[in-house]
Amino acid sequence: MKDLAGRSAVVTGGGSGMGRELVRQLVAEGVSIAMCDVSASGLAETERLCRQERLPQGLKITTHILDVSDRPAVERFQGEVAKQHETDKIHLLFNNAGIGGGSSFVVAERDEWERTFNIFWGGVYLCTRAFLPMMLKADKGHIVNTSSVNGFWATIGASMPQTAYGAAKFAVKCFSEALQTDLRLNAPHIKCSVVMPGHIGTGIAGNTGKVQAGND
């Protein structure tokens, strides 16, 4: 999709890192944004950075506090987007939210392991489920799912097992590749891409500590 001006996008994990930069670049292209994150302060800073530039007329930016692993919350988020953007369709979905932790299946706490897996994989699944009906109503659409180099290799280095992270990233990669075929057969106006980044200088480590500790 090259004609981005006037389109609308949902970006998860928009409060920092890759999500923030995605939002800023999309806004610069004239895309209306609904972004979510668990960090209210992070969302506020992303919005501030976007609004310090002159926005195209009619462009909307909305922020939403959301844990993407929470199904009822994701479904409410979808309703909020439709209401606040006054539309029944979106064109772009960036499933980008992420967290670390749960590296060891043997010694890590079960809650930590499942939180990591459910945010990385569950967030992609739940948000795609929630927003696909709105994308089906658009003239064209594109889903972009963030996996990782850990979706190729389960771990990087002999001292870090990465069991929750690696398992989730393999799941995101597999789902995205299978969804490409599904969309080609059943919704050819929607495309799907999977992104496999390596080490990027984001705040994921610090943000993980905050989330796992239950604070912002």
Q: What is the DSSP string of 93-148?
A: EEE---------TTTS-HHHHHHHHIIIIIHHHHHHHHHHHHHHTSSSEEEEEE--
Which amino acid, 135?
A: M
Residue 84's Cβ-side half-sphere holds a number of Cα atoms within 13 Å equal to 18
The Cα–Cα gap between 63 and 46 comes to 9
The Cα–Cα gap between 17 and 10 comes to 16
Bridge-based pairing state of the strands 92-95 and 32-37: unpaired
Residue entry with tokens 């929607």: 190
Name the catalytic one among 77, 113, 165, 175.
165
CB 16 within 8 A of CB 40: no
165 has catalytic annotation: yes
User: Active-site residues: which are they?
Assistant: 165
